[in-house]
């Protein structure tokens, strides 16, 4: 299935279910620039759906921008990476507000040929995660990408999906577990790109 979405270039990849917040005030905008005009168009015209893609990459995540179309200059805007990965197939024209549009194709995760081994590894990973959380040896707080994005204009725990994003994915979803862990580890941008 083909998608036509606005492209939001980020300095580093955003993973599925990873929360992100933006300040729209001109004095607080850093990287990436998301102006009130772009935010309004994303919400009103595109249903809040934007393709979040790291600089120099074609593979990204469909991001859901939260809120209503009446975005003001001093607003915070929250977004979350959806469980939809996509690959850019063709660049399009600019929208009325200035978004670079693109055509995308969905990326499907395939379990590979050794599904029994994968299921065993996933079960063991869940057991280790639960054990580490129970004894306090693991802190699985989502990475806030401070160094890469210079964002988070608010306390990250104020994001409406912060708690939901912190929950472990379903145990039968190896791909979701992989992204869940990658979003919580202090990975460099180069390593994050290989994990998306």
Tokens standing for 106?
């969905």
For 14-65, the DSSP string reads PPTT-EEEEE-STTT--SS---HHHHHHHHHHSTTEEEEEETT-SEEEEEEE
pLDDT at res. 88: 96
pLDDT for residue 164 is more than 80 = yes
Mean pLDDT of 83-89: 93
Q: Are 176 and 169 in contact (CB under 8 A)?
A: yes
82 vs 113 pLDDT, higher one: 82
**Predicted pLDDT of residue 76:** 77
**Mean pLDDT lowest for which of 12-16, 48-52, 77-81, 186-190?**
186-190
Domains, the chain, ordered by start: 2-107 (2.30.130.40)
- Band of the pLDDT at 150, cuts 50, 70, 90? low
Q: Percentage of residues in the chain with pLDDT exceeding 90?
A: 25
Strand (E) positions, the chain? 2-10, 19-23, 49-54, 59-65, 76-94, 100-107
What pLDDT, on a 0 to 100 scale, did the predictor assign at position 91? 96
Mean pLDDT, rounded, for 151-159: 69
**Selection from 150, 45, 32 nearest residue 101 by Cα:** 45
Q: Is the pLDDT of residue 10 over 90?
A: no
Q: Specify the higher pLDDT residue, 120 or 156.
A: 120
Buried b or exposed e, range 132-147, using 16+ CB within 10 angstroms: eeeeeeeeeebbbbee
């Amino acid at each position: 299935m083909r998608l036509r979405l606005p492209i939001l270039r980020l300095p580093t990849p955003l993973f599925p279910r990873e929360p992100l917040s933006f300040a729209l005030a001109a004095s607080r905008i850093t990287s990436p620039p998301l102006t009130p005009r772009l935010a309004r168009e994303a919400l009103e015209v595109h249903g809040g759906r934007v393709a979040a893609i790291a600089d120099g990459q074609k593979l990204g995540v469909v991001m859901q921008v939260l809120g209503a179309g009446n975005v003001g200059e001093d607003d915070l805007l929250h977004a979350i990476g959806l469980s939809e990965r996509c690959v850019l197939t063709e660049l399009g024209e600019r929208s009325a507000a200035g978004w670079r549009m693109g055509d995308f194709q969905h990326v499907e995760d395939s379990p590979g040929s050794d599904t029994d081994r994968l299921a065993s590894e996933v079960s063991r990973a869940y057991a280790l995660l639960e054990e580490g959380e129970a004894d306090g040896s693991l802190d699985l707080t989502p990475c806030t990408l401070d160094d890469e994005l210079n964002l988070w204009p608010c306390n990250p725990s104020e994001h409406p999906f912060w708690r939901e994003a912190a929950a472990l994915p379903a145990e039968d979803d190896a791909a979701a577990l992989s992204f869940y862990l990658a979003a919580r580890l202090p990975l460099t941008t180069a390593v994050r790109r290989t994990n998306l």
